[in-house]
Structures are given as structure tokens and as C-alpha cells.
Amino acid sequence: MKQRSILLLWITVFAVLASGCTARVGGSAAADRGRGNSLVIAVGSEPEGGFDPASGWGLYGSPLFQSTLLKRDNDLKIVNDLATDWNVSDDGLTWTVHIRKDAVFSDGQPLTAGDVKFTFETVRDSASAVDLTNLKEVRVEEDYAVSFHLQQPQSTFIARLITTGIIPEHAYGRKYASRPIGSGPFLLKQWDRGQQMIIEVNPEYYGEKPGFEQITILFLGEDAAYAAARAGEVDLAYIPASLSGMNVPGMRLESVHSVDNRGIMFPYVPSGGQTPDGKPVGNDVTSDPAIRKAVNTAVDRQGLVDGILEGHGSPAYTSSDGLPWWNERAVIEDNKPEKAIALLEDSGWRDTDGDGIREKDGRRAEFVLMYPAGDVIRQSLALAAAEMMKKVGIRIIVEGKSWEDLEQGMHENAVLFGWGSHDPLEMYNLYSSSYKGVEYYNPGYYSNPAVDRWLDKAMHALTEEEALVYWKNAQWDGQNGMSAAGDAPWAWLVNIDHLYLVREGLDIGRQRIQPHGHGWPITDNIAEWQWKQ
């Protein structure tokens, strides 16, 4: 391990020097910057698709270069950004937004309602990662007022106003993703593919100016980012839990809570079905609710947090723990193998031949649990969960697979997936029967009419606030639910804390609970960062 770290250190140093940075080994570069106006960070992988909101840029973290109509504050409450006010019609079909008149793009051109219309139509028609299929029409009402007309009411449409960066109609083209023009707090000065990008303060920005005039973002893996932190070449680095116990002089560890969850998805229906393209569907073991509930009850979630995440995480019980739409009543007692055994016994699962594995109707209590090969955390979670299930008589066969193989087998085998979003639409997609087998959504073919009714009520509510009670009831309403308290189509295991080494004296503000680790979620409040006086 020591030799590997030394090698990574020198690889990192040479990469940084080659990229044109003024880095020097041993922390001197950071000392030279002092408490000045520049910053060097390594927060995740390079966005290969570039910085175009029409391709999904900005879904997980600040869009940096573009502004959004609305945004969430550090309490996840919705506040204005470009918008000055907004309202929803009584039938929920028309959303009207008034925008500020002092916003201009980084090329000096004014931002108007026409640009908002152009943006949303471009995103909708691009069929990107941003789902705007419910958007029927966008109209310019005035120079600084725009209306969105939906095909049906949708409370989660507000998330599109929060995450979709506004692009300029006059300057949008084939090269926009690599040369973004926007009205956000930063502008892109330089992008060296595979190495780094340099951003600077946008002098045209209408809001409070960021605390740093220039920020260099290095594209490093977690181990290399840690090596760069040890070398004093970065002011902030995203690192894995396995390195969290290592002391780095001059830096502190910031552990940020997240809803970046990992959990076991169970095939919910018996075997024998097929997807439209011929993939097998169903599993005769995991379709038994006693098996699913036993796994949920026997697994020691806190043990997984302590043993695999080095304590940097929290037990997970739903796909949205801690978010405004989370139902605390969905939390169950776990690490109760004796209770799990009773569940299995009562349902007819018994070890009749003494081999340690239960049987029922001639079928053994065993199933395959797949995970993406190369993902150490998911592998460790899968193996640990399998070991925990031995004591209750369930055999889990753990297999690492390519994503191609996962797609082929995820409807008939359990899979250790990861999700987590600031948009409750993800909950709908994961559990609604209308999404059975749609890409990675609801691959286990879960379906419950009572849950569907709550999900539909939540989706068609007029506001996010009105929808909250419906989202919570879909998880558990006292009789039905998609959580482990109800049908248990998943065994959610852990929420992974996001770990950062931060230079002493660097104030990164109050961090909100972060979503799944795609993109750079820590950049959500990057405009607030500053050196402490």
C-alpha cells in the first residue's frame, strides 16, 4: 500500500506539472497561494460530455457557468435564482415564471424569456438525461416572463426549474458543451481534456461574487486525489473511506452526509416472464415476501457502516432518507436474526436436511446477488450481507458483473444498486408499476396498486409541499408501502458519506445533504467558499 501511494503521488505531481500548474511538492504551492484568490481542487471525474445542460450537465451539483430559474438552499428549501416569482395555475397545467431583468450572459448579451423558452425546448427535444416529456409548450409572455404548459399536472416539474441551466439562444451550437456561455457565477477559461479545467469569476454575474477569482479543477481518481493532497498540491480532494483514517498535515477531513445510497434490489415476481426484448424476468425465491423481509430484518446496517465505510455513512432504509419527502415511519428494526428466522419459519422456510440452507416446496433459500465488477464498496457490501444471511439460513451467491451483464440479468437476479437524488421523481421511477423494466428503473417489476395510487397523487399534486404527504404514504401508510415496513422490494443498506480533505483555513460553508456521487455535488455552494480571516 505504501509503495502504491508513493507511485500515485509522483504520477499526480508529474500530471499537475505537465498541465501547466505552478505546483511544487511538499505543500509549497499551497503556501505560495496563501489566502489569495485562487483555489485548486480535485472533486471527481471529468464530465466527458462537457457543460451543456441539454446533455444533463448540472443535475448533480452547481452548473457553474449557467444560472437556473430556481435553486435549493442549504436546507433544501426552494428559493429564487433567475426567477423573481413564480406560480402554478389552479389546474396544475401552467407554470408562470417572471425572471430578473439584470441578468446577462458572460458575453454581455441580455438574458430574456426567449432564452428560457429556447433552453427548455432544446432540452426536451434532445432526449437527454433530463426528463421533459410532460412539457407540452413554452410561451414567452413578456420579455421577462415565460409560461410552461404541461400535458398533465406534475409536482416534480419544479425540479426541472431547479437543475436546468439557461443557455443563450444566440450563442448555442455544436461546440457549446466545450465553450459554454452562461449567466452563472463562473466562466470557463481553459479545459485541458483528461487533466484539468480552469474557471474564473464571471464579471457579468448578477449575484454576490464568489470568494475566489480562479479555481483549477483537476480530474483525478480518488487515490490520486489523496496523493495530491498529501503533496500539498490541492486545497480540497474527494477521497474514499479507506483513506479517511490517514492523517494529512495541514488538512482536515470533512464528512458530508448524503442520500448516496446502496441497496439490494429484489426481483419481485416469480420466474417465467420476459422483457419485450427477451430478457428473463422473475425469481422464485426473492418473489417470496418472507425472504425479502428476512433479509431486511437480519442485515446489520450499522455494522456495514462501521466495518465497510469506516463509520462514514448511515444506515439506509429508503431511497430518500433525510430528504423532505422521507417517511421516518419506514425505518424498521434491523440486526434481528432471531426475528428473521421466525418470519421464515412461519412462512414455511425450514432447514430440513441440516445443511444450513432453508427450503420450501423443494426450493432452496438461495439467490444470486450481482454487483458492478470493480466497485470495491459494492463488492464489500454484497459479501458482508451474504455472510450475515448465513445465520438465518439464506444463501446469497455474490457475483461481480460488467454493466452489460447486469442489464441482461437484473430482472431475474438481485442487484446491488446505488441511487440518491434531490428529486422525488426518482422514487416514482424506481417503484411505479408504469416503469417496470424501463432502463434501470424498477428492474424487479415491483407493483402494488395502493402504492401506485399514492405515487400518482404525489406526481399530480400542484406543488412540492402538497405532494409530500403522498410521497410519504407511498413508503408506508400504515397498511401498504414500498419500504421494508411494507412490501420490501429493496433492502436498502447504507448511505455513503462523501469525504473530502480540506485545506486548513478554507471555509466550504454549510454543506447540504448530497445526492448520488455523479458529477460534483460539493460544488452546489462553491460560490460561497472563502478563506477564513
Residue 183 has pLDDT above 70, yes or no: yes
Residue 82 has pLDDT above 90, yes or no: yes
Q: What pLDDT is stored for residue 525 in this prediction?
A: 92
Domain containing residue 119: CATH number: 3.40.190.10
Q: What pLDDT is stored for residue 4 in this prediction?
A: 37
Domain containing residue 443: CATH number: 3.10.105.10
Q: What pLDDT is stored for residue 25 in this prediction?
A: 33
Q: How many domains does the chain have?
A: 3
Q: What pLDDT is stored for residue 35 in this prediction?
A: 55
User: What is the average pLDDT across 401-423?
Assistant: 96
Predicted confidence band of residue 518 (pLDDT cuts 50, 70, 90): confident
Of 454 and 437, the one with more pLDDT? 454
Out of 44-48, 195-199, 251-255, 288-292, pick the least confident: 44-48
Shared domain check, 448 and 392 = yes
Amino acid occupying residue 231: A
Q: What pLDDT is stored for residue 31 in this prediction?
A: 41
- Work out the mean pLDDT of the chain and round it to a whole number: 92
Shared domain check, 426 and 284 = yes
Q: What pLDDT is stored for residue 353 in this prediction?
A: 93
User: What is the average pLDDT across 327-351?
Assistant: 98
Share of the chain above pLDDT 70, in %: 93
Shared domain check, 328 and 230 = no
Shared domain check, 407 and 519 = no
Rounded to two decimals, the pTM is 0.89
Q: Which three cell numbers stand for residue 22?
A: 505552478
Of 102 and 8, the one with more pLDDT? 102
Shared domain check, 420 and 456 = yes
Q: Does residue 183 lie within any of the structural domains?
A: no
Hey, what long-range contacts does 125-133 have (CB within 8 A, 24 or more apart)?
Answer: 126/54, 126/55, 128/54, 128/55, 128/56, 129/55, 129/56, 129/59, 130/53, 130/54, 130/56, 130/59, 130/160, 130/163, 130/164, 131/425, 132/160
Measured between alpha carbons, how far is 352 from 486 in angstroms, rounded to an integer?
29
Q: Does residue 188 lie within any of the structural domains?
A: no
Element (H, E) at 429: helix 425-431
Shared domain check, 451 and 416 = yes
Q: What pLDDT is stored for residue 61 in this prediction?
A: 86
Q: What pLDDT is stored for residue 356 in this prediction?
A: 96
Q: What pLDDT is stored for residue 17 in this prediction?
A: 41
User: What is the average pLDDT across 449-475?
Assistant: 97
Q: 92 is in which domain, residue-wise?
A: 57-176
User: What is the average pLDDT across 406-430?
Assistant: 96
| The Cα angle at residue 72 between residues 71 and 76, in degrees rounded to 5 | 165
